Amino acid sequence: MAAGNTKSSQPLLVQLLRDYRATTDRRVQLIDAYMVFLMLTGILQFAHIFLAGSYPYNAFLSGFSSTVGAFVFAAALRVQTNPRNTPSTKSISPERAFADFIFCNLLLFLAVANFLG
């Protein structure tokens, strides 16, 4: 039964990936890859706590919050640059959204460097 489920789910995942590649804007895909990168980095930082403890805690908080913050900004950029969302974000051009994304990230990383210790 379980083997049958695995077999049937494989084509489903492949189909999902194929549809995603076909129907999603390339720029959005680039942002999605960046968000996967941030998520993996955050997971590895969090795993470090269980393996080696949380000391120095401010360094962990800085690193982890930088990945979380960057993920949120990337999600905002994805919303604003996705052509499917154009009706709701018509007043914001993708270039303007990218400039906002850069500005917010620079502020975030300044705060992170300040808290890093």
Residues binding another protein (CB under 8 A): 26, 29-30, 33-34, 36-38, 40-41, 44-45, 48, 51-53, 55-56, 93-96, 98-99, 102, 106, 109-110, 112-114, 116
Minimum distance from residue 11 beta carbon to another protein (Å):
20
Considering beta carbons, is residue 11 or 107 the nearer one to another protein? 107
Considering beta carbons, is residue 2 or 55 the nearer one to another protein? 55
Q: Which residue has the tokens 């990218």?
A: 98
**What is the DSSP-derived secondary structure letter of residue 93?**
-
- Rounded CA separation 62/74 (Å): 18
Minimum distance from residue 42 beta carbon to another protein (Å):
9
Minimum distance from residue 18 beta carbon to another protein (Å):
13
Considering beta carbons, is residue 45 or 80 the nearer one to another protein? 45
- Rounded CA separation 116/97 (Å): 28
Is 110:90 a contact under the CB 8 Å cutoff? no
Is 116:59 a contact under the CB 8 Å cutoff? yes
